[in-house]
Amino acid sequence: MDKPRRKEHVRGVGKKEQRQYEHIKRAAEREGRHGSRAEEVAARTVLKTSQRERAP
């Protein structure tokens, strides 16, 4: 049997960034920041951070 594939939350990033996304999203929801935009804010933050790390 094939292993069920884990759903990607943010495309184009690795496992570390996926964990960061989950952490940021949960923290924002728990603290009531960003309202219904918690997922979007978390994704944008992770993408911004990963792009900065890749830049020369």
Instruction: Give per-residue pLDDT as tens, 21-42.
Output: 999 999 999 999 998 999 999 9
Q: What is the pLDDT of residue 13?
A: 86
Does residue 17 have a pLDDT over 80?
Answer: yes
pLDDT at 42: 94
Which distant-in-sequence residues (6+ apart) come within 8 Å of 12 by Cβ? Answer: 47
Q: Is 19 a residue whose pLDDT tops 90?
A: yes
* Per-residue exposure over 5-40, b if at least 16 CB sit within 10 Å of its own CB, e if not: eeeeebeebeeebbebbeebbeebeeeeeeeeebbe
The identity of residue 36, as a single letter, is: S
Please indicate whether residue 5 or residue 56 has the higher confidence score (pLDDT): 56
- Helix, strand, coil in percent for the chain, rounding step 5: 65, 0, 35
